[in-house]
């Protein structure tokens, strides 16, 4: 997991704003499509991003904490975070 996390870490500028790389943007777009259904399938996540559930949802958790999608309402963001926490719990 350490190699995966370091590979996916995004850079922060001097104000602490996260600059997402292309893969992180794709991951966020993917989860925005699937969170209403409990998140993307483990198979789709593995096939598309080469990550297991734990690594994918750990990165998603970090991204929505630091840079929540502006296109989501507060209630949608709350639901997405709930799905992420649930999937992390299941991946233990």
Tokens of 90: 């299941």
Assess contact for 10 and 21: CB atoms under 8 A.
Answer: yes
In whole angstroms, what is the distance from residue 74 CA to residue 81 CA? 11
The pTM is what? 0.77
Q: Could you read off the pLDDT of 44-66 as tens digits, one per residue? A: 999 999 999 999 999 999 999 98
Q: Could you read off the pLDDT of 71-81 as tens digits, one per residue? A: 889 999 999 99
Average model confidence (pLDDT) for the chain? 84
């Amino acid at each position: 997991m350490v190699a995966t996390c370091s590979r996916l870490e995004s850079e922060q500028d001097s104000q602490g704003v996260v600059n997402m790389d292309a893969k992180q943007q794709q991951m966020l777009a993917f989860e925005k499509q699937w969170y209403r259904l409990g998140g993307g399938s483990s198979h789709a996540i593995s096939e598309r991003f080469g990550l297991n559930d734990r690594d994918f949802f750990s990165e998603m958790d970090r991204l929505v904490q630091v840079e929540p999608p502006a296109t989501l309402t507060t209630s949608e963001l709350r639901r997405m975070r709930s799905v992420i926490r649930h999937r992390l719990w299941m991946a233990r």
